[in-house]
Amino acid sequence: MKKASRAMNVHLGADLKALWVDYCAGLGKTPGEALKEAIEQQLAKAEKFPPPKTYQQTNAAPNGEPKVRFEILMTQSEKAAVLERSNLERCSQRRWIIDAIRTGLTHEPQFGMKEIEALGESNYQLLAIGRNLNQVAKAMHEGRRDSVTTESIEQLRQIIDAHTEKVSNAIRASLERWNIE
């Protein structure tokens, strides 16, 4: 059984290494000693303040489950920002706040109506691509290679590119939705 190494290599680049060496010299420590001390300090902090639990959404809440009232107070500017964002997302302010909370708890995107519609269209396009590919494969198996043209493959590529762009935009919109200024 191979013994694990106790050493660690860190590639800093010339400029950062020079700054680190000068900083450590000012402390009267070797770069390795200072790095070990910094790691120990970070680990000690982590033990005192463990990272918050990431929750997972497991099932949809039963329809009959009662909701629990939770009141929050906001500044005028926060309320205006929530109103603006919920209008952009085409949902209620309450739904937008719940989605923001779920994103914070689960670290998973919560899609708005715009993204859901885009992803629905995207799935429709994927199904169409699948049907087209099945037709191409069937024609090739039957020996009708003349029905598979460069143009038909190019059309499929364009559909795939459009699909990829729609999905990327929906994902980006969902992730960017939670940025606040």
Express each pLDDT in 120-145 by its tens digit: 888 888 888 888 888 877 877 787 76
Task: Establish if 106 belongs to a structural domain.
Answer: yes
Note the pLDDT tens digit of each residue in 38-64: 998 888 888 888 778 888 766 666 677
One domain, residues 104 and 35: no
Domain membership of residue 70 (yes or no) is no
Number of CB atoms found within 10 A of residue 51's CB: 6
**Do 101 and 161 belong to one domain?**
yes
**C-beta separation of 106 from 114 below 8 A:** no
Structural domain tally of the chain?
2
Nearest C-alpha neighbor of 24 from the set 128, 80, 12: 12
Residue 98: inside a domain: yes
Domain shared by 92 and 157, yes or no: yes
- 77, HSE (Cβ side, Cα atoms, 13 Å): 2
Residue at 157 is within a domain: yes
The boundaries of the domain holding residue 142 are 76-176
On whether residue 80 sits in a domain, the answer given is yes
pLDDT tens-digit readout, 70-79 = 999 999 999 9
Angle at Cα 113 formed by Cα 112 and Cα 116, nearest 5°? Answer: 90
